[in-house]
């Protein structure tokens, strides 16, 4: 499967546009699941890319764009196999810290991979989550930046875990755990579906001093019961984004539309989409986010290897550059690196 998909991605090739623009990839994963790994452990949208260790990411990043830094995002990889259950996610942070400590020196691109690290802590532990947070910080004292707790929930598309409820963000115990983030100066990455945006609005309003980062623009769905409702979904999504933008502590990641659950069908093409067509499809979503949040609260993300289901790394960043072709140089700085580096407090922040 992996070799077939790699060959498919290469069927559409492009040279990198504006290769001089420095980029901070604000959201990517690394994993390397063995072929014997049960399929149930691999997320549906990531199945074509079962193997994605550092060397694979660096091959993608070597397509001509100037990737200077990245943020490693929690994905449930390398959790510990023993010890107290709440502390097992520390294994992923230890893995990412090792990558961050050596990647820039060990690759010819000079990319500071995992310059920022976001891990998982079960916020349903309430105030007891403090010991988990402190263990993450101990495992990565200079790179650990925040917690991601994914909460997408829909009967057809699926949920992030068997225990996830549609209104988890409103749960009192969850909020007790969320309250601890401010104490440690950590941000919160939220992945949810577009109809859950009102819950994120209420959470952000309740904790105005904690930075909330919306992943994948709130994931406007396009499969199953949502497949013939593109305009209705877009209209409801726009309303949710507008309401969320009124919360000054919220920033948004522009990316993630390549996930098959968004329903564009790019992963089913005989040959991958080119950056001109890709930019045309993505532009209405990203322009709306930028209009509402402003460039200082928006950042581009690759969401690789998940979005690799639909296009190559080079083509994706070409599409982002086409979308922003009429933006000022100062605005491009914010979208391609400034916002990400500031929000995640990366080394050499703008």
Per-residue H/E/C for the chain:
CHHHHHHHHCCCCCCCCCCCCEEEEEEECCEECCCCCCHHHCCHHHCCCCEECHHHHHHHHCCCCEEEEEEEECCCCCCCCCCCHHHCCHHHHHHHHHHHHHHHHHCCCCCEEEEEEEECCCHHHHHHHHHHHHHHHHHCCCCEEEEECCCCEECCCEECCCCCCCCHHHCHHHHHHHCHHHHHCCEEEECCCHHHHHHHHHHHHHCCCCCEEEHHHHCCCCCHHHCCCHHHHHHHHHHHHHHHHCCCCEEEEECCCCCHHHCCCHHHCCCCCCHHHHHHHHHHHHHHHHHHHCHHHEEECCCECHHHHCCCHHHHHHHHHHHCCCCCHHHHHHHHHHHHHHHCCCCCCC
The mean per-residue pLDDT over the stretch 274-292 comes to 98
The mean per-residue pLDDT over the stretch 310-321 comes to 98
Confidence tier at 36 by pLDDT (50, 70, 90): low
| Fold classification of 2-13+21-343 (topology level) | TIM Barrel (3.20.20)
pLDDT at 82 over 90: yes
The mean per-residue pLDDT over the stretch 150-173 comes to 70
The residue among 4 and 211 whose pLDDT is bigger is 211
Confidence tier at 44 by pLDDT (50, 70, 90): very low
pLDDT given for residue 1 in this prediction: 40
The mean per-residue pLDDT over the stretch 134-151 comes to 97
Please provide the average confidence, as pLDDT, over all residues in the chain. Answer: 91
């Amino acid at each position: 499967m992996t070799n077939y998909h790699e060959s498919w991605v290469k069927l559409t090739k492009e040279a990198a546009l504006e290769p001089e623009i420095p980029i901070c990839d604000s959201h990517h994963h690394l994993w390397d699941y063995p072929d014997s790994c049960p399929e149930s452990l691999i997320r549906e949208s990531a199945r074509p890319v079962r193997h994605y260790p550092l060397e694979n990411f660096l091959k993608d990043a070597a397509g001509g764009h100037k990737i200077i830094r990245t943020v490693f995002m929690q994905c449930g990889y390398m959790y510990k196999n023993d010890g107290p259950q709440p502390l097992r996610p520390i294994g992923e942070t230890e893995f990412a810290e090792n990558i961050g400590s050596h990647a820039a020196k060990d690759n010819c691109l000079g990319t500071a991979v995992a310059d920022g690290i976001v891990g998982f802590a079960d916020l349903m532990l309430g105030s007891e989550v403090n010991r988990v947070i402190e263990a993450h910080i101990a495992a990565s004292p200079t790179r650990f930046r925040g917690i991601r707790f994914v909460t997408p929930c829909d009967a057809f598309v699926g949920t992030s875990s068997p225990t996830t409820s549609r209104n988890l963000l409103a749960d009192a115990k969850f909020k007790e755990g969320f309250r601890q983030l401010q104490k440690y100066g950590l941000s919160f990455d939220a992945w949810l579906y577009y109809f859950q945006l009102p819950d994120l609005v209420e959470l952000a309003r309740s904790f105005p001093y904690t930075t909330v980062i919306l992943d994948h623009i709130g994931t406007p769905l396009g499969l199953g019961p949502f497949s013939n409702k593109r305009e209705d979904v877009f209209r409801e999504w726009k309303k949710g984004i507008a309401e969320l933008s009124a919360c000054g502590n919220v920033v948004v990641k522009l990316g993630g539309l390549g996930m098959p659950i968004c329903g564009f069908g790019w992963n089913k093409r005989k040959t991958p989409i080119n950056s001109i067509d890709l930019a045309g499809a993505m532009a209405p979503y990203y322009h709306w986010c930028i209009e509402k949040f402003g460039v200082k609260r928006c950042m581009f993300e690759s969401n690789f290897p998940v979005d690799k289901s639909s296009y190559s790394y080079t083509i994706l960043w070409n599409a982002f550059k086409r979308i922003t072709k009429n933006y000022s140089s100062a605005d491009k700085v914010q979208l391609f690196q400034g916002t990400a580096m500031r929000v995640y407090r990366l080394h050499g922040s703008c």
